[in-house]
Amino acid sequence: MGEEQASRSRAHAYFTYPELLQSLKKLGVMSFNEQHEFAMRRALELALNGPAKGLNPRVGAVLITTSGEIVGEGWHRGSGTDHAEVAALKDLEANGRANFNGPIATGLTAVVTLEPCNHTGKTGPCAQALITAGVERVIFATKDPGAASSGGAATLREAGIEVDSGLLETEAEELIRVWATATRQQRPFVTLKYGSSLDGRSAAADGSSKWITGPEARRDVHRRRTQIDAILVGTGTIIADDPELTARHRDGSLRAEQPIRVILGETELDPAARIFDETEGKGKTVQLRTRDLNSALITLFDMGVRHLMVEGGAVVASEFVRHNLVNEYLIYMAPKLIGGPVTSLGNLGVANISQAKELEFIEIKPLGPDLMIRAIERNN
């Protein structure tokens, strides 16, 4: 036998399909069929029904038979409510598809957008719920980054359940990117939002700034305010603009979901400022009397804030950029030239061009005459 033929023979003997399949099973890396992908896409769709903000991530789950039929589905409705897996198990019982001669999910596969949790918080561990229900296999899209809640996959495997992961992982990670980042960093995910003219100005030389952007852009801002936990501005913005920082409908009425309004800084403010008005469904207002950004973020995280939108002014916004605390940029750019000294951002600590913040555009969307630009730093 020639050396080349012998080499091929050894390779073939080493990578026999059954052994490779078993190795992939142990690693939790498996091929998935169209039924699995369809089920995961349904789970991702269900997850979107959950709240966009709060302590917990959006998660969806479905239960399927060996033929791929969906017989139970659910999603997480927010902190303190059933997790998606438990909701799917309850749906299985409610629609009469549960097994009545043993565990209710015997022989079924659970398809979940996030690794089943492994801890007891306001509800019990999902991994244990799936074990008790008798599922045969669990497929999840992406791992749980939480120090306390992760480990569900290992618990399931120890119970003899087949576990595979990575199906539509990119889509699932995008779904929970804010929560996952906040969980890993143990501070709120920070979105820096500002409006700007085409030449980077936020106001004219006399300080007038209403309105740089048009009504479509402003409506988008109000919609996004309902999807975050808190808005932050500095004391200078309160003194200069006296903003309410509420989320409103087109007709000016308050939306049902309102963010916490956060003021950063030690300056004493007029108690009659509009931001302190918490009546008629407006959000709670908190003043953090500090200039330490990291301390402020930790305080907000401990308050349950997972997504923070920094809205200015330029000094506060620039400090967040300087300290590398911005996870996402949300820029509303108007096709106007203003000139003058009032810029949207100030000193970023960039002494030469090699230190410039390199951004990557994630989304560019026309809003009337304006552009909404969503971007992240390239090294994020």
In a domain, 13, yes or no: no
Q: What is the mean pLDDT of residues 115-119?
A: 91
**Token pair belonging to 69:** 């039929």
Selecting among 19, 69, 85, 358, the annotated active-site residue is 85
- Going 228 to 234 to 239 to 241, the CA torsion angle's sign is negative
Q: Are residues 205 and 147 in the same domain?
A: no
Higher pLDDT, 313 or 323: 323
In a domain, 18, yes or no: no
pLDDT at 12 over 80: no
**Token pair belonging to 176:** 């929970």
In a domain, 131, yes or no: yes
The per-residue pLDDT for 183 is 95
pTM listed for this prediction: 0.87
For residue 266, what are the CA distances in angstroms to 151, 288, 323, 333? 43, 8, 19, 31
CATH of the domain at 286: 3.40.430.10
Q: Are residues 340 and 221 in the same domain?
A: yes
Least confident of 22-26, 188-192, 232-236, 327-331: 22-26
Residues 251 and 309: their CA atoms lie apart, in Å, by: 23
Query: Does residue 184 contact residue 176 with C-beta atoms inside 8 Å?
Result: no
Where residue 122 falls among pLDDT bands split at 50, 70, 90?
confident
Where residue 50 falls among pLDDT bands split at 50, 70, 90?
very high
Q: Of 180, 213, 233, which one is at a domain's C-terminal end?
A: 180
The per-residue pLDDT for 4 is 46
Q: What is the mean pLDDT of residues 345-357?
A: 93
Q: Are residues 132 and 91 in the same domain?
A: yes
In a domain, 20, yes or no: no
Q: Is 142 helix (H, G, I), strand (E, B) or coil?
A: strand
Q: Of 148, 180, 212, which one is at a domain's C-terminal end?
A: 180
Where residue 26 falls among pLDDT bands split at 50, 70, 90?
low
> In whole numbers, what is the pLDDT of the chain averaged over residues?
91
| Nearest of 246, 248, 239 to residue 219 by alpha carbon | 248
The domain tally of the chain equals 2
Higher pLDDT, 1 or 81: 81
Residues 264 and 347: their CA atoms lie apart, in Å, by: 18
The domain in which residue 118 lies consists of 25-180
Q: Are residues 157 and 274 in the same domain?
A: no
**Token pair belonging to 288:** 């953090």
In a domain, 10, yes or no: no
Q: Of 120, 152, 180, which one is at a domain's C-terminal end?
A: 180
Q: Are residues 106 and 215 in the same domain?
A: no
In a domain, 88, yes or no: yes
Residues 257 and 274: their CA atoms lie apart, in Å, by: 18
Where residue 123 falls among pLDDT bands split at 50, 70, 90?
confident
Residues 115 and 61: their CA atoms lie apart, in Å, by: 11
Q: Are residues 209 and 91 in the same domain?
A: no
Residues 351 and 354: their CA atoms lie apart, in Å, by: 8
For residue 156, what are the CA distances in angstroms to 92, 128, 345? 20, 8, 50
Contacts of 292 (CB under 8 A, 6+ apart): none
Residue 78 identity = G
Q: Are residues 171 and 210 in the same domain?
A: no
The per-residue pLDDT for 8 is 41
The per-residue pLDDT for 146 is 86
pLDDT at 360 over 50: yes
Task: Give 224-282 pLDDT, tens digit per residue.
Answer: 999 999 999 999 999 999 999 999 999 999 999 999 999 999 999 999 999 999 998 99
DSSP string of 145-183, one letter each residue? --TTT--HHHHHHHTT-EEEE-TTHHHHHHHTHHHHHHH
Where residue 346 falls among pLDDT bands split at 50, 70, 90?
very high
Q: Are residues 43 and 135 in the same domain?
A: yes
Where residue 5 falls among pLDDT bands split at 50, 70, 90?
very low
Query: Does residue 62 contact residue 106 with C-beta atoms inside 8 Å?
Result: no
Query: Does residue 49 contact residue 75 with C-beta atoms inside 8 Å?
Result: yes
Query: Which strands sit side by side in the sheet containing 137-142, from one edge to the other?
Result: 70-75, 60-64, 109-114, 137-142, 162-165
The per-residue pLDDT for 7 is 41
In a domain, 331, yes or no: yes
Q: Confirm whether 85 is a catalytic residue.
A: yes
Where residue 209 falls among pLDDT bands split at 50, 70, 90?
confident
